[in-house]
Structure formats: C-alpha cells, structure tokens
Amino acid sequence: MNILLVYAHPEPTSLNGSLKEFTVNRLEKSGHRVQVSDLYAMKWKSALDADDFPHRDKTAPFHPSLDSQKAFEQGTQSVDIAKEQKKLLWADALILQFPLWWYSMPAILKGWIDRVYAYGFAYGVGEHSDTHWGDRFGDGVMKGKRAMLLVTVGGWEPHYSARGINGPMDDLLFPIHHGVLWYPGFDVLPPSVIYRTGKMDQKRMAHIQDELGQKLDNLWNIPPIAFRRQNDGDYVIPSLTLSANIMPEQSGFSIHIDA
C-alpha cells in the first residue's frame, strides 16, 4: 500500500525524528511505499493567501474559498499545493505526525491543511442542496483511505484523562479526527499518543516502538473510529443536527460516534 506521512517537527534528532524514521522503516520493511512530507525540511509555506493562486484576477478582492475553488478547477493553484494533493490521491493511508503545541497541531501543519485542503478537493465536493449537504463526513475524495495521528505530548497522561485538567485527549483531537480527517472521507484510526516526552529512556522507547510497530503492521485491520456518516439518515438536513431519536437528550462530540 501507499502511505503518506506528513511530519511537523523542526529537529531531525528529536524524539519525533526518531519515531518518523522508525515508522518509515517499519512500513517499508512490510513492503509498503512511503512518501514523507517533512514540512520543516520543505520550508512549507504556512499562511494561505492570495499568492497561492498566482493566476487570480488581481483587481478583485481575495476570497480564500472562492479563489481556491477557481484555481483548483482550472489547475492554476500554486505548485506546492498541487504536489501535496497528488500525494494524497496516491496514498492509501495518511499519517499526520506532530508534537501537541497548545492543545493542537503546530502552525506549519495547520498551514498544510489550510492550503492543501482546497475547495473542490477537500470541501465543496458533491451536491449541495437542502436535501444533500455535500459529500463529507464519511464521503468525499478521501473515501476508502485511512488516516491516523501520531502525537507526542510533554504532559502526563492523567492530565488528558476523562477528568484531567486539559480535557480528554479524544475531545482535544476531535476537531482533527472528525473535522479534518472524517470530513473529506478518511476512515480515522485511533491515535497513537506518546505522553511525557521529556522522560524518555531506552526501555520506554523500546516499548513505544513495539506498540507503534504492531499498530503499523495492522494499519489495514484496525477498526476505525465509528463516526456517523452525514448522508446515511442519522442527521436532519439542512439543520445537520443528530436525529432526535438517536441518543436523545445527549450532546457534545461523543454523540457523533456510533458507540
């Protein structure tokens, strides 16, 4: 299979750098093909702006989504964006690897999402009407592909537990899992989260590699998170609220998983 690893850490000799090397080697040894988008090494441009659309009508105000739509349709996006989209189409699985900074991804990776996720590619796909709100949340261009987060965290695991002060890790990652990956159609695997990165020794590292390695070996067998499909009847359209008869009285991120 083909795997795209999008990697966002500035230091090659870091724990993240080691985990990236380990991941690539393990996948290649299993016969997979791997491409790495090493965003810092590529000096990836983070800010979505008018320069991303060099052929746009420069007399008109810049409109992020409409300019993205036109350029995507006409094949006139910036070359760096088009290249990453091609990698996504090539991939059977996507891994996003990053250190958790301020409870989310580093800016450079957010900028990869903001720019590569074009209108017509990652959103604005399919019929948009009062009865069908686009091919998204389970449908879309990435349908049939899998995705997984590989996240390192300085803090302790209990701080991110159900009653931990930072909020539960699953909820902190929901906007990425559900909003960035499930939205354009990826099946989303449970994340690999490595806590307390400042306290690493050989024994712990061996254990982490062992766990991660087994997960990578089973990338195509692990059951994805059971997010609800937008277009299978669970949601009222166009309000896009969960039908009153499903998990009645409940609310929040968790109701969008069919437990």
What lies within 8 Å, CB to CB, of 234 at 6+ separation is: 228, 242, 243, 246, 258
Q: How far apart are CA 96 and CA 105, in angstroms?
A: 10
Query: CB of 38: closest distance to its own copies in angstroms?
Result: 12
110 binds its own copies (CB under 8 A): yes
164 binds its own copies (CB under 8 A): yes
The stretch among 29-37, 88-96, 156-164, 187-195 that binds its own copies (CB under 8 A) is: 156-164
Of 105 and 194, which CB lies nearer to its own copies in the complex structure?
Answer: 105
- Select from 53, 121, 137, 195 the one that contacts its own copies (CB under 8 A): 137
111 close to 44: Cβ distance less than 8 angstroms? yes
Of 159 and 215, which CB lies nearer to its own copies in the complex structure?
Answer: 159
74-81 own/partner pairs: CB under 8 Å, 24+ apart: 77/52, 77/53, 77/118, 78/51, 78/52, 78/53, 78/54, 78/115, 80/42, 80/44, 80/45, 80/115, 81/52, 81/115, 81/116, 81/118
63 binds its own copies (CB under 8 A): yes
Sign of the Cα pseudo-torsion (105, 109, 114, 116, in order): negative
Counted residue by residue, the chain has a size of: 259
Query: CB of 46: closest distance to its own copies in angstroms?
Result: 4
Of 9 and 26, which CB lies nearer to its own copies in the complex structure?
Answer: 9
Residues 177-236 that bind its own copies (CB under 8 A): 178-180, 230, 235
Q: In the complex, which residues of this chain contact its own copies (CB under 8 A)?
A: 10-11, 13-14, 39-40, 44, 46-50, 61-65, 99, 101-108, 110-111, 113-114, 117, 137, 154, 156, 158-159, 161-168, 171-172, 174-175, 178-180, 230, 235, 238-242, 250-256
